[in-house]
Structure formats: C-alpha cells, structure tokens
Amino acid sequence: MRMNVFEMEGFLRGKCVPRDLKVNETNAEYLLRKFDALEAKCAALENKIIPVSAELPPANESVLLFDA
C-alpha cells in the first residue's frame, strides 16, 4: 500500500488508520513490518542486479567495439 503525504501525516498524528494495519498492532510495529518488507525487497533487487552487472563487459571494451 502506498501512502501519500496527507495520509502519512494523518497516520503519524493518530487521525487515521492504514488499511493493512493488523489487529492490535501498534504504529511502531506497523512501521517496523513495512520497513522490514522494504529492506527484503531491496536486498532481493540488489542480488538480482549484481549478477547482471558482472556479465556486462567493462565500459572501455564496449566503446572499442562500437568505434570499429
């Protein structure tokens, strides 16, 4: 779920509740769960990017190939 600025402001001030807040979950637990999910997603993307970049030739070689 994405929050816009107004929804986040309302959540932090206690004026509104996110749709995916679990029963009896505190704001801190909710934010921790969301940050953990984002961290896992970033780690998965990083693991996906590193092998692809290892397969690419260095920039100097690719420039020489296209200049020929």
Tens digit of each residue's pLDDT, the chain (68 residues) = 688 899 999 999 999 999 899 999 999 999 999 999 999 999 998 887 766 666 666 666 555 555 55
pLDDT, residue 2, reads: 80
Answer left, alpha or beta for residue 58, where phi above 0 means left and psi between -120 and 50 means alpha: beta
The Cα angle at residue 39 between residues 33 and 40, in degrees rounded to 5: 90
14 phi-psi bin (left φ>0, alpha ψ -120 to 50, beta other): left
Tell me the whole-structure pTM to 2 decimals.
Answer: 0.65
In angstroms, the CA 28 to CA 36 distance is: 12
CA–CA distance, 35 with 8 (Å, rounded to integer): 14
